[in-house]
Amino acid sequence: MEQNLFSRYGLSKEILEALTMLRYHAPTKVQEQVIPEVLDGNDIVVKSKTGSGKTAAFGVPLCEKVDWDENHPQAIVLEPTRELAVQVSNELFHIGRRKRLKVPAVFGGFPIDKQIRTVKQKSHIVVGTPGRTLDLIGREALKSDKVKYVVIDEADLMFDMGFLDDVKKVLSLLPEKRVTMLFSATIDENVEKLSQNYMKEAKDIYLESKTLTVDQIEQIAYEVENEEKFSCLMDVLVQENPKSCMIFCATRDMVNVLYRQLRKAKVRCCMLHGLVDQKERLRVIEDFREGRFYYLIATEVAARGIDFEEISHVINYDFPTSKESYVHRIGRTGRNGKSGKAISFVRQEDIKMKQSVERYTNVPIQMAEKVRFSDNDSERAEKEKEFRKRQQQKMQPKKSKGAVFQKDITRLSIGGGRKSKLRAGDIVGTICSMEGVTAEDIGIIDVRDSITYVEILNKKGKSVYEQLQEKTIKGKRRKVKMR
């Protein structure tokens, strides 16, 4: 088998194995520059295009550096939204999977008690939104004295007024001797200036590029009036027949309206905005990621960082009102070297902003001739048939990224938990007394009130399960089930 090129950084066997399982065979450009710096313990400010592999750029060295035996978090990653916190925690969890790292995501809008319990139970890296992270530090659920690394992701947004106070407070509560990292696709002078207050001689890593957007994204625009937007969208969808597409609107109301219109037109879609119930938001993202829907209609909330594999098209149904937003929105396609197409609807009043975007990105957005199908046009009939065919196709949900790790892992549930004073150590003790099983075969242990979940690795799940039918844990035989 070909050598994994990440091996040049002297990473541990567990991290290299996980990278190979994730099919990360060679570092991306930003990873090449960032990984050695973090391994050396240097502060950095990183500007790199969306989809360039920024998460793993800090994720790989963080997962490498944290010490599994330490019970308190050693790294904190701050993210602006809960969706991003979940996504980034998943990515780090996968990278640290073979090392059995715990990487909880913490964010507002969900009961804090559960998050307190999770963070307290040996967690290595905590990924959170600033407010909730601060709250957890304040309640001493998240002990900050062992934190050696902090990442401020989407830094330009984090240094924006809405977040700045909480971010500042979190930083002030962390040990001074630490490594601080800032990441974003769009870093301006303001971020640079602010960052100097929190970092020591940070090294700037700016991935040089003439343009701000990814070259593989074809960018076009249609001039439209408000009233023709929907019919124009239908024409575009029929013409392009996108396999997977995000459609951005300016407001929540517009998302609701467009969602209803598209459903009425029998187009399979889902929607995402700030007023969609928290749990529903995470579910929508999962469903879209797994390919259960082709089209996601969203507000700005989904424009940042969210990594959906293989989005072929981004449509700006409403043209963005800031140039940065355009860059982030269209960056949902053309990720990780793939190609993509960004289509924008531009009204008269959007023309100035379009020009401002073009100056900012240094890429022209070509005005295109509108798709014109007359109703009895046979070309439209043909295209419409293809489009409808795809809409009716039964979907084959895509496997999640973490699925590769699951095949060698068995999850067992064990009767007993915190209420009966059962501890992770009791379970480790019993399992390690079994023949042919060592602590290395035990994955994550999650002790709840009356039940405990434990992962058994390396295909030893069945054997451990069978032996647990006879053995006792903390002096008692327990009800054990394979999940």
Write phi, then psi, for 149 (nearest 5 degrees). -135, 140
Kindly state whether residue 64 participates in binding ligand AMP, applying the rule CB under 6 A.
Answer: no
Among 20, 33, 55, 81, binds ligand AMP (CB under 6 A): 55
Given the rule CB under 6 A, which of 50-58, 62-70, 271-279, 356-364 is the region that contacts ligand AMP? 50-58
Kindly state whether residue 400 participates in binding ligand AMP, applying the rule CB under 6 A.
Answer: no
> Looking at the chain, how many residues does it have?
483
**Least distance to ligand AMP, CB of residue 49, Å:** 8
- Return the residues of window 210-269 that contact ligand AMP according to CB under 6 A: none
Per-position b or e across 383-412, b if 16+ CB within 10 A of its CB: bbeebeeebeeeeeeeeebeebbeeebbbb
- At 449, list the tokens: 């009130």
Among 21, 56, 141, 232, binds ligand AMP (CB under 6 A): 56
Kindly state whether residue 51 participates in binding ligand AMP, applying the rule CB under 6 A.
Answer: yes
Pairing relation of β-strands 203-206 and 217-223? unpaired
Kindly state whether residue 24 participates in binding ligand AMP, applying the rule CB under 6 A.
Answer: yes
Q: Give how many residues touch ligand AMP by CB under 6 A.
A: 14
List 374's β-bridge partners, or say none: none
Given the rule CB under 6 A, which of 27-35, 191-199, 349-357, 435-443 is the region that contacts ligand AMP? 27-35
Region class of 92: left (phi > 0), else alpha (psi between -120 and 50), else beta: alpha
Nearby residues of 62 by Cβ (< 8 Å), 6 or more positions away? 38, 75, 77, 92, 125, 149, 151
- Residue 262 or 301: the one with the smaller Cβ distance to ligand AMP is 301
Given the rule CB under 6 A, which of 45-53, 198-206, 241-249, 458-466 is the region that contacts ligand AMP? 45-53
- Return the residues of window 324-383 that contact ligand AMP according to CB under 6 A: 335-336
Nearby residues of 359 by Cβ (< 8 Å), 6 or more positions away? none
**Least distance to ligand AMP, CB of residue 349, Å:** 33
Residue 172 CB-density burial (10 A; 0-12 exposed, 13-18 middle, 19+ buried) = exposed
- Residue 53 or 131: the one with the smaller Cβ distance to ligand AMP is 53
Side-by-side strand order, sheet with 451-456: 442-447, 451-456, 410-415, 480-482
Residue pair 183/305 in contact (Cβ under 8 Å)? The answer is: no
Given the rule CB under 6 A, which of 24-32, 201-209, 229-237, 443-451 is the region that contacts ligand AMP? 24-32
Given the rule CB under 6 A, which of 23-31, 264-272, 351-359, 364-372 is the region that contacts ligand AMP? 23-31
**Least distance to ligand AMP, CB of residue 9, Å:** 12
Given the rule CB under 6 A, which of 20-28, 200-208, 432-440, 463-471 is the region that contacts ligand AMP? 20-28
- At 90, list the tokens: 């998943």
- Residue 245 or 255: the one with the smaller Cβ distance to ligand AMP is 245
Kindly state whether residue 307 participates in binding ligand AMP, applying the rule CB under 6 A.
Answer: yes
- At 159, list the tokens: 């240094």
Among 33, 52, 195, 333, binds ligand AMP (CB under 6 A): 52
- At 477, list the tokens: 């035989």
Among 18, 42, 54, 246, binds ligand AMP (CB under 6 A): 54
Kindly state whether residue 7 participates in binding ligand AMP, applying the rule CB under 6 A.
Answer: no
Half-sphere exposure of 134 (CA within 13 A, CB side): 14
- Residue 53 or 461: the one with the smaller Cβ distance to ligand AMP is 53
Cα torsion through 51, 54, 59, 62, rounded to 10? 180
Among 9, 27, 83, 119, binds ligand AMP (CB under 6 A): 27
Question: DSSP 3-state assignment of 473?
Answer: strand
In order of 228, 262, 337, the CA distances from 215 in angstroms are 30, 31, 9
Q: What letter does residue 336 receive in the DSSP assignment?
A: G
- At 196, list the tokens: 């100097």
Kindly state whether residue 469 participates in binding ligand AMP, applying the rule CB under 6 A.
Answer: no
Among 28, 299, 312, 467, binds ligand AMP (CB under 6 A): 28
Residue pair 46/20 in contact (Cβ under 8 Å)? The answer is: no
- Residue 71 or 336: the one with the smaller Cβ distance to ligand AMP is 336
Given the rule CB under 6 A, which of 51-59, 267-275, 359-367, 438-446 is the region that contacts ligand AMP? 51-59
Kindly state whether residue 53 participates in binding ligand AMP, applying the rule CB under 6 A.
Answer: yes
**Element holding 411 (H helix, E strand):** strand 410-415
Residue pair 50/185 in contact (Cβ under 8 Å)? The answer is: yes
- Residue 128 or 305: the one with the smaller Cβ distance to ligand AMP is 305
Kindly state whether residue 304 participates in binding ligand AMP, applying the rule CB under 6 A.
Answer: no
- Residue 331 or 461: the one with the smaller Cβ distance to ligand AMP is 331
Where does this chain bind ligand AMP (CB under 6 A)?
A: 24, 27-28, 31, 51-56, 307, 309, 335-336
